[in-house]
Chain A
């Protein structure tokens, strides 16, 4: 059947959803006696108005791109991996173990091994739910969300035990050391004569995330494995007919998904905190679901949506500073509204807009 033009589907609808989200958020802000236009202004200014703002925005975006990609790969096989949070946390453990084990002379050496550690551990954390889904039919939504809790608890246990830096109260490891420090945008851009904020945590991992997006694109649309993943996602009965093993596709897809989620820790653990701390994922695993939904499970869309959500995240924090009348909880509500409208309710506006386009094309003809 005739659909609306692709640009409307991919660009217009997300923008309308976003506008709706801001409209409802604005009503709320207005209701508590604040100026909604100030809210929008400070959110945009806070996220894009300075190199520090941009730096934080890109830093958060890096996380969201990784978790968004992780969710989308699984989603192409119609596997609802909501365990990105736990897979990222355990991925951080993998990266930390690699970085703590060896006194790394230079980050270029450390990075590939840290990536391997993060990806491997993230994948391993996804492997158990994947196996249970493929072999035992345990629903992956249930098992992955359970594994989020187990992963969080495991980190608490380890960071209060063997991994804890001796002689201190805080549940965290020692610093990884200078040889494992990733170059930040400040350091990378200085030789080019561009002065970037020194405080912003954005680092070379951002490019890793972009590379991962390109990799996911090639995987899904250019390789046999991607062909099988998509086919499995569309029709399990057809893959059986074609002789594609559902067990194999389920497990491999989840391993890739878990590995991508785990790589978030390269940005946060290796790039920013430079040690393993508790709760470093900070909900990015769940945010990835909204990012992937808004990005329509396409790597390009996920990068764009990731940047947008990075802006919202950073803009939200900035709001706390600029508008004392808005509490932390209010910021969370605003962010949640945006996630609901752009993620969960993404199809709400599609139908009426589709009908509108159909009517317009009919009148034109």
Chain B
């Protein structure tokens, strides 16, 4: 009812959330500086900003995880103290985290009532929740089988369970943190429809994302944060992606990668009928074949969890596979003594792994140690047979940090103290500077700020132009489309098809990503 024409009464009513002068410091780091924000009731409000801009801190304050050093929170015009998440829930705030907080081996119903049980016996609560869920499902297109076990659900459905949990707790204000990172384009569309329904019912939604396109598509207003400060709040209709990017970074940003056409050379990587079975016996890669030539970037698109990770792990040498992989025409060992990552490096394969924090870096180690991690056997890093050349390594690390503009320029600082973008630059510097023939790159800009994305993309293209073969795996379609010279789409462990970036679009790729090939050309 009148979902579109509600601007009038909103302006007179108290805002759903009003923050005044919120500040929060962690030691010398001012994560939030005198933040003021007004979120009108019944709107979708986007918050964007680079990593470390203070978005998560602000939301954590709102959800009671952190206590602000100063400032006030008003919910529906009433001053509210939020010392813990319990208080946030009773104030009507629900939060959907980027990493779901679900008990995997519980059913949907059990997850929904967890922490909101009515009495010592479960039966009554479960039945009550079952009814409530049915209503919510009808109302908001939030259908999930209440008796399904969470681990059997798709990621999109798991996210719905998170939303249901919040709604079951009578949330009037829903905060979603990077909700589409793990979704297919179709699932994301469905999510946005749900959000639209919620909004029309008068709920208030705060959407935290770094995807400018989503901001443009679904929000009513958008706030930009930079370095702990709330810069602007603007009406979405009155801005553009370029404008928002510039506000976020503080300077003009190139959203598109500037690159010359590729000049492919010799075949560097040839993969033939590769199959990978994981520890639990599930076949994750089901006989794929492709090649990458020198001087070109092959982009592998697909929703996370369709075999791309396993493909990279086999190529990188930390998972076994079957089939044939040739590098520079020579077969490489897939299961035997020389199938480890060290042997791969010896064959000229460098690898920027998907999960830089768990794999690419040792978070507790200093940047200097991380700069040689994986290459620590190399003769130039040794002082003698027994000891490593720590002083020399520090010097080399400092030089590489200079060349890759890693900030802060302190090689002694532990990796965990760098921002996502700078962590990625450390990994890139280490892997690219070893002059590999083939570079494997997984999710190069996941969790990386816009300013650093530009730099990282330029480096990858520069390496291609230097005649190296590059295999790029990314779940970001924009990234795949702007970097790749050819695009292969993976679904359920198979390559559904190959496309040239200038002869395809998001819709076409989106269908392939969902495993739909037959309708190709028909639509």
Contact = CB atoms under 8 A, between A and B. Distances in A.
B186 interface: no
Contact of A235 (B29, B316, B362): B362
Interface stretch (B87-95, B353-361, B462-470): B353-361
B115 interface: no
A1 B52 CA distance: 12
Interface stretch (A192-200, A223-231, A310-318): A223-231
B369 A227 contact: yes
B410 interface: no
Interface residues of B, number: 36
A361 B340 contact: no
A234 B363 contact: yes
Size category of the binding interface on chain A: 20 to 34
A222 B388 contact: yes
Interface in A1-23: 1-3
B365 A240 contact: no
B344 interface: yes
Contact of B340 (A221, A224, A243): A243
A237 B362 contact: no
Contacts of A240: 318, 341, 359
B377 interface: yes
Given A1-B29, A2-B26, A243 B318 contact: yes
Contact of B27 (A224, A227, A358): A358
Contacts of A230: 362, 365
A242 interface: yes
Interface in A231-249: 231, 234-235, 237-238, 240-245
Given A2-B27, A242-B341, A243-B343, A227 B361 contact: no
A78 to B, nearest CB: 11
A362 interface: yes
B29 A2 contact: yes
B14 to A, nearest CB: 34
B318 A241 contact: yes
B364 interface: yes
A243 B374 contact: yes
Interface in A292-351: none
Contacts of A224: 376-377, 382, 388
A362 B26 CA distance: 10
Interface string B64-86: 00000000000000000000000
B386 A223 contact: yes
A241 B316 contact: yes
A218 interface: yes
Interface in B331-352: 340-345, 351
Interface in B431-489: none
A240 B360 CA distance: 10
A235 B343 contact: no
Contacts of B362: 230-231, 234-235, 238
Nearest to B316: A241
A98 B290 CA distance: 62
Given A222-B386, A227-B376, 11 more contacts: A1-B29, A224-B376, A230-B362, A234-B365, A237-B358, A241-B353, A241-B359, A241-B360, A242-B374, A243-B344, A362-B25
Interface of B: 25-29, 316-318, 340-345, 351, 353, 355, 358-365, 369, 373-374, 376-377, 382, 386-388, 390, 417
30 contacts: A1-B29, A1-B417, A2-B29, A222-B387, A223-B388, A224-B388, A227-B369, A227-B376, A230-B365, A231-B373, A234-B364, A235-B359, A237-B359, A238-B359, A238-B361, A240-B318, A240-B341, A241-B316, A241-B351, A242-B341, A242-B342, A242-B374, A242-B376, A243-B340, A243-B344, A243-B374, A244-B342, A358-B27, A361-B27, A362-B25
Interface of A: 1-3, 218, 221-224, 227-228, 230-231, 234-235, 237-238, 240-245, 358, 361-362, 365
